[in-house]
Amino acid sequence: MGIFLGAFSYPLHIYHSSALFLMNLVPNRIAYQSLFKIIFYLMRQNLLKDYLIYLESQMQEPDLSIEISGFKMGNPLMLASGILGTTIASLRKVFEAGAGAVVTKSIGYEPRAGYENPTLVEVHGGYLNAIGLSNPGIREFYNELLESKIDDLPLIVSLFGSKKSEFRYMTSLLDKLNIKAYELNLSCPHVMGFGNEVGQDPKAVRRIIESVKEETKKPVFVKLSPNVKDIVEIAKVAENSGADALTVINTIRAMSIDIETFRPILANKIGGLSGPAIKPIAVRCVYEVSKEVKIPVIGCGGIMNWQDVIEFFLAGARAVQIGTAIAYEGLSIFEKIKKGIRDYLIIKGKKSVRDIVGLSHDF
Ligand SMILES: Cc1cc2nc3c(=O)[nH]c(=O)nc-3n(C[C@H](O)[C@H](O)[C@H](O)COP(=O)(O)O)c2cc1C
């Protein structure tokens, strides 16, 4: 019995592939019964277990590491901006839970209190938020970074602003510190004068990216919005202006109304929708953008499990960001997804997560 249980503690995919292999060799029922007798004999002798140990040792551990414009990550899972990203201590917790990189909440030139409550509401298929880009402002954030140990942290700082002088100032201030990359939030859907309003104007997109690139040699990622006429057009402008990678996508403009009181639920009325409801839109955007640009695309929007991550990779993403799923699943989601990707790559016979990027483009 012990042998039985020992043998069955092996990963299912080893049984699955061995069984498929054996079934091809078995011509009829008699041969099938003989084969089972042999298997039971091997199990009694503990030989099957030895064979499975041998088989597993022959399997190469798939490589989950990726590189985005010189920025190396141990695995392709990043924390999305705005979720647990307000302090370095909370970002470190996410990194220790298994994320390959962490992105801060978007930081602006001046402190902002954000909107009145309610700023966040759960809706069918995800969350609706209009936080209003609340943040301590660049100087206070800079002081926190100075006092924190960040050298070993794969830290990406998200920045928002309304004009190029603000972006230029923030980048030049932070650039002496050991942050690994910037993400420019040109896509927040619910704050006038920032984010999406800037990100749908190709001239503003160009001005901002070029001015940031003049201040830094670190990789600059640009986060795009689906709330534009043509996301591919903005993606190409960002690439031509010097962006090193594109994060696709931010939340989608949406709203919810209380049928008892007749009032919009969010204090700002309009907010951004995140979570599983937006995944197919995000996958479409990643697919369309990654077909048209050469720089890496980081997928984001509605990822809940490893299958979703694989879908983003097949659509053309080279890394992904996870946000809302943390509210449902907690931080254990990072390890669960890493295990799922690893097992998938073994079953598909792929050595690296890089080998599946954009495979859907072939059809
Ligand atoms: C509460 C909340 C706050 C957010 N704040 C920011 C932010 O400050 N900057 C930003 O670029 N994106 C922000 N986002 C958008 C997320 O980074 C992400 O693009 C979006 O939620 C889609 O991914 P998800 O479905 O995995 O959450 C926020 C999202 C949520 C839910």
For position 135, what pLDDT does the model report?
A: 93
Ligand 1 center from residue 83 Cα (angstroms): 7
Task: Record the pTM.
Answer: 0.87
**363 residues of the chain, pLDDT tens digit each:** 333 334 444 455 555 555 555 555 555 677 777 877 887 787 777 777 777 776 666 678 999 999 999 999 999 999 999 999 889 999 999 999 999 999 999 999 999 999 999 999 999 999 999 999 999 999 999 999 999 999 999 999 999 998 899 999 999 999 999 999 999 999 877 777 777 777 889 999 999 999 999 999 999 999 999 999 999 999 999 999 999 999 999 999 999 999 999 999 999 999 999 999 999 999 999 999 999 999 999 999 999 999 999 999 999 999 999 999 999 999 999 999 999 999 999 999 999 999 999 999 999
Q: Helix %, strand %, coil % for the chain, to 5?
A: 45, 15, 40
For position 194, what pLDDT does the model report?
A: 73
Ligand 1 center from residue 103 Cα (angstroms): 10
Q: At what angle do helices 279-292 and 306-315 cross, to 10 degrees?
A: 30
For the record, the structure tokens of 151 come out as 């050298």
Q: Is 253 exposed, middle or buried (0-12, 13-18, 19+ CB in 10 A)?
A: middle
Ligand 1 center from residue 100 Cα (angstroms): 18
Q: Are strands 297-300 and 245-248 parallel, antiparallel or unpaired?
A: parallel
For position 116, what pLDDT does the model report?
A: 94
Terminal alpha carbon distance of the chain: 49
Amino acid at 5: L
Amino acid at 342: R
Count of helices and strands (H, E) across the chain: 14, 14
Task: Tell me if residue 188 is catalytic.
Answer: yes
If you ran DSSP here, which 8-state letter would residue 320 be given? E
Q: Which candidate in 159, 188, 191, 310 is catalytic?
A: 188
Taking a C-beta distance cutoff of 8 angstroms, is the pair 249, 300 a contact? yes
Q: Would the CB of 158 count as within 6 Å of ligand 1?
A: yes
Q: By alpha-carbon position, which residue is closest to atom 12 of ligand 1?
A: 81
Q: What angle do CA 242, 165, 111 make, to 5 degrees?
A: 115
Measure the CA dihedral 271/276/278/279, to 10°.
150
For the record, the structure tokens of 274 come out as 């995140």
If you ran DSSP here, which 8-state letter would residue 252 be given? E
Ligand 1 center from residue 236 Cα (angstroms): 23
For the record, the structure tokens of 341 come out as 């990707």
For position 198, what pLDDT does the model report?
A: 76
For position 333, what pLDDT does the model report?
A: 98
Structural domains in the chain plus CATH codes: 2-58 (no CATH), 66-362 (3.20.20.70)
Taking a C-beta distance cutoff of 8 angstroms, is the pair 258, 219 a contact? no
- State the chain's maximal CA–CA distance in angstroms: 81
For position 23, what pLDDT does the model report?
A: 56
For the record, the structure tokens of 329 come out as 């699943």
Question: What SS3 state is found at 20?
Answer: helix
Among 279, 296, 294, 284, residue whose Cα is nearest residue 221:
296
Q: Would the CB of 299 count as within 6 Å of ligand 1?
A: no
Out of 77, 78, 79, 81, mutate this one to test ligand 1's pocket (max ligand atoms within 8 Å of CB): namely 81
For position 4, what pLDDT does the model report?
A: 37
C-alpha torsion sign, points 91, 280, 304, 121? positive
Q: Where are the beta strands (DSSP E) in 4-134?
A: 66-68, 71-73, 77-79, 101-103, 120-123, 126-129
If you ran DSSP here, which 8-state letter would residue 251 be given? -
If you ran DSSP here, which 8-state letter would residue 278 be given? G
- Which is the closest atom of ligand 1 to the Cα of 303? 26
| Backbone Cα Rg of the chain | 24
Q: Compute the distance between CA of residue 138 and CA of residue 222 in angstroms, rounded to an integer.
A: 19
For the record, the structure tokens of 337 come out as 């997804």
Q: By alpha-carbon position, which residue is closest to atom 19 of ligand 1?
A: 250
Ligand 1 center from residue 298 Cα (angstroms): 14
Q: Is 2 exposed, middle or buried (0-12, 13-18, 19+ CB in 10 A)?
A: exposed
Q: What angle do CA 100, 210, 288 make, to 5 degrees?
A: 60
Q: By alpha-carbon position, which residue is closest to atom 28 of ligand 1?
A: 82
For position 189, what pLDDT does the model report?
A: 74
